[in-house]
Amino acid sequence: MATSSGQQHVRPWRYLTAFAGVVVVLYALVFLTGGGNLTPKLGIDLQGGTRVTLTARTTDGQPPPRDQLVQAQEIIEQRVNGLGVSGAEVQLDGTNIVITVPGDEGEQARSLGQTAQLRFREVLQGPVPANQAAGQQQPGQAGQAPASPAPASPAPAQPQGMGEQSRAVAPLAQTSPLQDPPPSPEPSPAPAPSATPNPAGLSPDDPRVAAEVTALRATRQSTDQATQLQALLTLDCNAPDPLQGYDDPTRPLVACSEDKQTKYLLGPSFLEGTEIASAQAQQNQQGVGWVVGLTFKPQGADTWGQYTTNNVGKNVAFVLDGDVVSAPTINQPIFGQTQISGQFNQDRAQQLAQVLRYGSLPLSFDSGNAQTVSASLGLASLEAGLIAGAVGLALVFAYCLFYYRLLGILTILSLALSGLVVYAVLILLGRWIGFTLDLAGVAGFIIAIGITADSFVIFFERLKDEMREGRTFRSAVPRSWERARRTILTADAVSFLAAAVLYVLAVGEVRGFAFTLGMSTVLDLVVVFLVTFPLVVIISRSRSLGRPGLSGLAAVDRIGARHRRSTPAVGQRAGDRRSSTTSKGAGA
């Protein structure tokens, strides 16, 4: 009687209503927050995309340290997240860093490997037109020779105050009379070579590249005035620059502007970009275009404020990876936010702010060309996998219909509803966290289908065991569910734990497999508890649908009937014992 009472207290429609509510909420979010996009985001192997390979280069020709490669990978991953590139992967491949970006967002990945070594240098000479030949003089430059400055030392802290922002000036030649630095050993001056590209097939780690960098330092970073002037006039801004990212911050530098139109002679760096606390792209309030607003750390703010106080009216260069991004005039002391101005559009300003905000890379990388990856191979593999999965599912459905009949139809219905929920969750995860579905994720879903089907089998086989012991279909359902759900929870907990451990320890596509496997395991519990169990209860209570022959339970029902006939009911055995006791009392 206790079993029947428990059966009567089960209210299956409440479970089904709860599941219907979950589905309605999910698809309401899908349709109301998607802007018309009703498909999950696909990975690079399914929709194609861009792959960028960055090759680390060192001046001594030795392989870069592993810890620096890992640090560079972490910084690039932060830049990827900051740029909002969804579904991108950053992986180490030997001494290379490989960035894969699905879809049409590959252009944003081209600048992710930028070293982003920002330095602040005084403008000693320039700007000089980039096409000016050796021996030519700019108007107003005749007889002038650039002086070699000494590095500025950090100044004492100044009172805080917001000054006028620095602004760019029209090209004009000017010199800054500064004292010569103390003599320092350097290689003997050599004829100023132009920054020629590396020979074809030359590895960035080749010692000849290191020799080329040393030679360029001896000319473009010389403290000799004649050598400086010769390097300024002969520098070819349109040629690749082996010195980029390897300039010595304690020495002067002959450099080109970022647009390769002008050249400058710059003093030693007096402030490093590592002193930047934050960087934000913002619209230029004093003109058109965009600027990058910088906020310095306390020590950097003191140095910058003291320098701008002592150099009002002079030009200062913002040098990013060896190129002059902007060379504005200091109009007055600046103790607040500083702007990097230039010919920036919104995208360029945002990218520059991102790389400055997340710091400079510990290594310099050769900019790899972005390679377009076709989705044809992935789509062919996906098609083959889906065909194989469909064949497998068809065999499972055929077996369930043959073996369980009506309960097999419940299995098919439950799997279909599970797929409905999974599809909505994939769309929402793609929008909210940038989750992309790749081939490994599809494999996780296919395996999860087997886990879900196993839960149904556990329930149905436990139901058969109860009926073999003599219970009817209706009375066996709640008791079999009570015992089966513990096994289902245990099995799914083990599967979810395995997926979680794999997700934490794995990298790349394997993490996608683990994520989809864990997510499907959780959704399996939702479907089994809110759909499968209440539907079985409804069938067991129906006179027409609950017939053992229709449910595939005829064989076990016959075994249970024989068991009931051969074994007295509990109530009958208790009544027999009471009758025997009464007879003995009367005889006494």
Query: How do residues 536-551 score in pLDDT, each as one tens digit?
Result: 999 888 888 878 778 7
Instruction: For residues 518 and 392, state if they share a domain.
Output: yes
Rounded mean pLDDT, 6-12: 64
* Most confident range, picked from 15-29, 76-90, 356-370, 551-565: 15-29
Nearest to 248 by CA among 212, 273, 216: 216
Tokens linked to 555: 């064989």
Instruction: For residues 305 and 210, state if they share a domain.
Output: yes
Question: Would residue 108 count as lying in a domain?
Answer: no
**Which residue, chain included where needed, has tokens 């010569």?**
180
More confident residue, 519 or 570: 519
Which pairs count as long-range contacts for 187-190, CB under 8 Å and 24+ apart, including other chains? 187/214, 187/217, 187/218, 188/218, 189/218, 189/219, 189/222, 189/224, 189/226, 189/227, 190/215, 190/218, 190/219
Q: Which helix (H) or strand (E) holds 52?
A: strand 49-57
Q: Given this model, what pLDDT does residue 18 score? A: 93
Q: Give the other-Cβ count within 10 Å of 166's Cβ.
A: 23
Q: Given this model, what pLDDT does residue 484 score? A: 92
Q: Given this model, what pLDDT does residue 287 score? A: 73
List of residues 6+ apart from 532 with CB closer than 8 A: 410, 411, 414, 455, 456, 459
Report how far residue 18's alpha carbon sits from residue 9's, in angstroms, rounded to the nearest whole number.
Answer: 17
Chosen domain end from 319, 347, 366: 366
More confident residue, 488 or 442: 488
Query: What CATH number does the domain containing 389 carry?
Result: 1.20.1640.10
Burial class (CB in 10 A: 0-12, 13-18, 19+), 225: middle
Tokens linked to 531: 């759909």
Report how far residue 140's alpha carbon sits from residue 129's, in angstroms, rounded to the nearest whole number.
Answer: 14
Burial class (CB in 10 A: 0-12, 13-18, 19+), 520: buried
Backbone phi, then psi, for 177, in 5-degree steps? Answer: -70, 105
Backbone phi, then psi, for 199, in 5-degree steps? Answer: -60, 155
Q: Given this model, what pLDDT does residue 52 score? A: 79
Query: Per mean pLDDT, which range of 325-329, 367-371, 426-430 is the poorest?
Result: 367-371
Instruction: For residues 546 and 495, state if they share a domain.
Output: yes
Instruction: For residues 354 and 401, state if they share a domain.
Output: no
Query: Per mean pLDDT, which range of 119-133, 327-341, 349-363 is the poorest?
Result: 349-363
SS3 of 94, please?
A: coil
Q: Given this model, what pLDDT does residue 175 score? A: 27
Question: Would residue 362 count as lying in a domain?
Answer: yes
* Most confident range, picked from 150-164, 178-192, 317-331, 470-484: 470-484
Tokens linked to 418: 């599970």
Rounded mean pLDDT, 354-380: 67
**Which residue, chain included where needed, has tokens 């029947």?**
4
397 pLDDT above the threshold of 80: yes
Rounded mean pLDDT, 245-261: 84
Q: Given this model, what pLDDT does residue 295 score? A: 87
Question: Within its chain, how far is the Cα of 189 from the centroid?
Answer: 48
Tokens linked to 142: 């005749």
Question: Would residue 89 count as lying in a domain?
Answer: no
At 96, which amino acid appears?
N
Query: What CATH number does the domain containing 172 carry?
Result: 3.30.1360.200
Question: Would residue 584 count as lying in a domain?
Answer: no
Question: Would residue 25 count as lying in a domain?
Answer: yes
Query: Per mean pLDDT, which range of 160-169, 281-290, 379-388 is the poorest?
Result: 160-169
Query: How do residues 303-316 score in pLDDT, each as one tens digit?
Result: 999 999 998 888 88
Instruction: For residues 448 and 327, state if they share a domain.
Output: no
Query: How do residues 495-508 score in pLDDT, each as one tens digit?
Result: 999 999 998 887 66
- pLDDT class for 533, splitting at 50, 70, 90? very high
Instruction: For residues 329 and 379, state if they share a domain.
Output: no
Q: Given this model, what pLDDT does residue 114 score? A: 65
Percentage of the chain exceeding pLDDT 90:
12
Query: Per mean pLDDT, which range of 73-77, 269-273, 402-406 is the poorest?
Result: 73-77
SS3 of 450, please?
A: helix
Do residues 15 and 534 make contact, with C-beta atoms less than 8 angstroms apart? yes
Rounded mean pLDDT, 406-422: 88
Query: How do residues 148-189 score in pLDDT, each as one tens digit?
Result: 333 333 333 322 222 233 333 323 222 222 222 333 333 333
Sign, CA torsion 376/381/385/391: positive
More confident residue, 360 or 302: 302
Report how far residue 485's alpha carbon sits from residue 331's, in angstroms, rounded to the nearest whole number.
Answer: 76
257 pLDDT above the threshold of 70: yes
Instruction: For residues 256 and 277, state if they share a domain.
Output: yes
Instruction: For residues 260 and 381, state if they share a domain.
Output: no
128 pLDDT above the threshold of 60: yes
Q: How many domains does the chain contain in total?
A: 2
- pLDDT class for 450, splitting at 50, 70, 90? confident
Distances, alpha carbon 351 to alpha carbons 107, 292, 338, 500, 515, in Å: 11, 10, 17, 34, 30
Instruction: For residues 302 and 326, state if they share a domain.
Output: yes
Question: Within its chain, how far is the Cα of 355 from the centroid?
Answer: 16
Q: Given this model, what pLDDT does residue 554 score? A: 79
Mean pLDDT score across all residues of the chain: 74
Question: Would residue 138 count as lying in a domain?
Answer: yes
Question: Would residue 206 count as lying in a domain?
Answer: yes
- pLDDT class for 489, splitting at 50, 70, 90? very high
More confident residue, 433 or 342: 433
Rounded mean pLDDT, 468-472: 87
Name the region of 289 (left: φ>0; alpha: ψ -120 to 50; beta: rest): left
Instruction: For residues 504 and 451, state if they share a domain.
Output: yes
Instruction: For residues 407 and 439, state if they share a domain.
Output: yes
66-103 b/e (C-beta count within 10 Å ≥ 16 → b): eeebeebbebbbbbbebbebbbbbbeeeebebbbbbbb
Instruction: For residues 238 and 362, state if they share a domain.
Output: yes
Q: Given this model, what pLDDT does residue 292 score? A: 85
Backbone phi, then psi, for 558, in 5-degree steps? Answer: -65, -40
Rounded mean pLDDT, 511-515: 87
Range of the domain at 35: 2-42+374-566
Question: Would residue 63 count as lying in a domain?
Answer: no
More confident residue, 79 or 236: 236
Q: Given this model, what pLDDT does residue 506 score? A: 78
Angle formed by the axes of helices 66-83 and 346-357, nearest 10°:
140
